[in-house]
C-alpha cells in the first residue's frame, strides 16, 4: 500500500487539493487491490465526518472570527503596550504578547496572523523596524494560537488519534509550552534589540495606565477563561464549550461593544462554514486511508521495523518531529496531521509514548508549517501587509523557527514541562 505514496505526493505537487489527492489514492488502491467492495467508500468517508465532538470545530472557528470582528485585538495590543512599557524593541514584544492573548481567544494560528499583522505590522514599519522582521515576528508568534488553549488543532488531533485522548487534558498540556514559545521568542528579541537598534516604546508603564488598558480588554480576555473554566469545572463538554464561546462572542459584539450587526454575523457564519468544510472533507477522505492502513496492519509493521533501530521514547519522538517538519514544508498543518497521525499513533505504545504527549509534540511541530516555505501560509499572509517579499521574511523567520523547535525538543525530553498543569488539576 505504501507504493501509492509517490502517487499522492505527485498529485499534491501538481496542485491537486489535498483532500481530493488523499481520496483518489485511497479509491485507486481499492480499485487495484479489490480488497474491499466499493460500497464501503461512502460509508467510511461519511463516518469520518459524522461525529458529535467535531461540531466544536466550526463553533470555535466562528467564535474566533466574531471576537476578531468585535475589535478586541486593538484593546489587547494597547494592554500589551502598557505592560511592556518603553523598553527597546517594545513593539516586537507587544507583537508576541498580543499573539499570546489573542491565541487564547481564536484557537487558530492563521486568524491570529491576520489579526495581529493587520494591527501591528504597519505600526512596526512606521517605527523603523525592517519590513522582513515585522512580518517574521508576526507570523512566527501566531504559531502560539494553535497551542495555547483552546485550540482547533488539538480538537482535530484528539478525534483522528483514534480514541483515548481527553480534549480537556490536551488543552492543558498545551498551555505551558505555548507560553514558553512566546518567552523564548522574547528572549531572541532581547538579544538583537540593541544590536539592530530597535526603537523603544512610548507607552507609560504604571499601575494606573495598566488598569486603564486592562478594563476595556477584560471582556475579550474573559472568553478563554469562560471556555476553559467551564470545561475544567465539568460544566460543559469541549463541544458545548464551542457553542458557549460563540454565544459569548456574540454577546460581546452585539450587546457590549455594539459593533457586530446582522451582516457581520452572516459573514462570520459563511467564513466558519467554508473553513470547516475544508477540514471535514479532509477528515472524510483521510478516514478512508486510515481504514485501509488498519486492515493492512501498516502502522504495526512500520512500528516493528522502527524498533529494530530506534530503541528509546525520545528517539521515536524526534523521528516524528523530523517527519512532520519535512512534510509540513509542502502541506498545510491540518492535512499533515490527518494523513500521518493514523500511521504514527498506533506506534506510540511500542515505544512507551503517552498519547497526550505525542499529540502535543505533533501539534507543536506541524504549526511550524505555517512559516516554513514553500507552503508557509503565514508568510503569504504577512508579506502583503508588510510590503516585503517571501525571501526577505524567510531569512528573518529562521531564528523564530529555532525558538519553536527548542521548546519542542524540551517537551520531547522533559514531558513534565507540559504534564504538570494537567496533573495539578487532576487530569
- pLDDT score recorded for residue 153: 84
Residues 84 and 91: their CA atoms lie apart, in Å, by 9
What is the spatial distance between Cα 346 and Cα 400, in angstroms, rounded to a whole number?
A: 32
Whether 395 is in a domain gets the answer: yes
Q: What local confidence, expressed as pLDDT, does residue 107 receive?
A: 60
Instruction: Report yes or no on 8 lying in a domain.
Output: no
Residue 4's pLDDT is what?
A: 67
Phi, psi angle pair for 81, to nearest 5°: -60, -45
Q: Classify residue 10: in a domain, yes or no.
A: no
State the cell numbers at 271.
467564513
User: Does residue 179 contact residue 100 with C-beta atoms inside 8 Å?
Assistant: yes
- Contact predicate 105/224, CB 8 Å: yes
Whether residue 414 lies inside any domain: the answer is yes
Looking at residue 108, its pLDDT comes to 67
In angstroms, the Cα distances linking 276 to 111, 142, 197, 271, 285 are 14, 20, 43, 8, 14
Ranges of residues in the chain with a pLDDT under 70 are 1-5, 104-111, 201-204
Cell readout for 21 is 489527492
> Residues 6 or more apart from 355 whose CB is under 8 A from it?
161, 164, 165, 345, 348
Cell digits of residue 78: 494597547
Is position 14 within any domain?
A: no
Q: Give the total number of structural domains in the chain.
A: 1
In a domain, 53, yes or no: yes
* C-beta atoms surrounding 266 within 10 Å: 10
367 lies in some domain? yes
Closest residue by Cα to residue 23 from 3, 43, 8, 35? 8
Domain that includes residue 351, residue range: 25-424
Q: Are 380 and 390 in contact (CB under 8 A)?
A: yes
* Residue whose C-alpha cell reads 509550552 in the numeric block: 177
Is the pTM of the predicted complex or chain greater than 0.95? no
Confidence at residue 106, expressed as pLDDT on a 0 to 100 scale? 62
Amino acid at each position: 500500500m505504501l507504493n501509492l505514496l509517490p502517487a499522492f505526493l505527485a498529485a499534491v505537487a501538481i496542485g491537486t487539493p489535498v483532500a481530493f489527492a488523499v481520496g483518489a489514492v485511497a479509491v485507486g488502491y481499492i480499485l487495484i487491490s479489490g480488497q474491499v467492495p466499493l460500497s464501503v467508500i461512502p460509508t467510511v468517508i461519511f463516518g469520518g465526518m459524522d461525529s458529535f465532538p467535531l461540531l466544536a470545530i466550526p463553533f470555535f472557528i466562528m467564535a474566533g472570527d466574531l471576537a476578531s470582528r468585535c475589535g478586541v485585538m486593538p484593546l489587547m495590543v494597547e494592554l500589551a503596550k502598557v505592560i511592556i512599557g518603553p523598553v527597546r524593541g517594545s513593539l516586537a514584544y507587544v507583537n508576541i504578547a498580543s499573539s499570546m492573548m489573542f491565541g487564547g481567544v481564536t484557537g487558530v494560528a492563521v486568524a491570529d496572523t491576520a489579526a495581529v499583522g493587520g494591527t501591528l505590522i504597519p505600526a512596526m514599519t512606521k517605527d523603523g523596524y525592517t519590513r522582513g522582521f515585522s512580518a517574521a515576528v508576526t507570523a512566527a508568534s501566531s504559531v502560539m494560537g494553535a497551542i495555547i488553549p483552546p485550540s482547533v488543532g488539538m480538537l482535530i488531533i484528539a478525534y483522528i488519534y483514534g480514541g483515548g485522548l481527553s480534549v480537556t487534558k490536551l488543552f492543558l498540556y498545551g498551555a505551558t509550552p505555548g507560553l514558553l514559545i512566546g518567552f523564548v521568542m522574547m528572549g531572541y528579541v532581547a538579544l538583537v534589540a540593541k544590536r539592530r537598534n530597535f526603537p523603544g516604546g512610548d507607552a507609560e508603564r504604571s499601575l494606573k495606565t495598566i488598569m486603564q488598558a486592562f478594563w476595556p480588554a477584560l471582556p475579550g480576555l474573559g472568553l478563554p477563561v469562560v471556555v476553559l473554566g467551564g470545561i475544567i469545572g465539568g460544566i460543559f463538554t469541549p463541544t458545548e464549550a464551542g457553542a458557549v464561546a460563540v454565544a459569548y462572542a456574540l454577546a460581546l459584539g452585539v450587546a457590549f461593544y455594539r459593533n457586530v450587526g446582522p451582516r457581520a454575523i452572516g459573514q462570520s457564519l459563511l467564513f466558519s462554514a467554508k473553513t470547516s468544510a475544508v477540514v471535514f472533507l479532509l477528515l472524510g477522505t483521510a478516514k478512508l486511508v486510515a481504514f485501509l492502513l488498519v486492515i493492512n496492519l501498516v502502522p504495526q509493521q512500520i512500528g516493528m521495523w522502527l524498533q529494530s533501530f530506534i530503541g528509546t521514547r525520545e528517539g521515536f519522538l524526534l523521528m516524528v518531529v523530523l517527519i512532520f517538519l519535512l512534510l509540513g514544508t509542502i502541506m498545510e498543518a491540518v492535512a499533515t496531521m490527518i494523513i500521518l497521525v493514523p500511521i504514527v499513533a498506533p506506534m506510540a505504545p511500542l515505544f512507551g509514548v503517552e498519547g497526550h504527549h505525542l499529540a502535543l509534540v505533533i501539534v507543536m511541530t506541524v504549526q511550524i508549517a505555517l512559516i516554513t516555505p514553500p507552503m508557509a501560509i503565514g508568510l503569504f499572509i504577512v508579506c502583503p501587509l508588510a510590503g516585503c517579499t517571501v525571501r526577505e521574511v524567510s531569512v528573518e523567520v529562521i531564528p523564530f523557527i529555532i525558538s519553536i523547535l527548542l521548546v519542542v525538543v524540551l517537551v520531547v525530553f522533559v514531558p513534565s514541562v507540559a504534564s504538570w498543569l494537567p496533573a495539578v488539576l487532576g487530569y
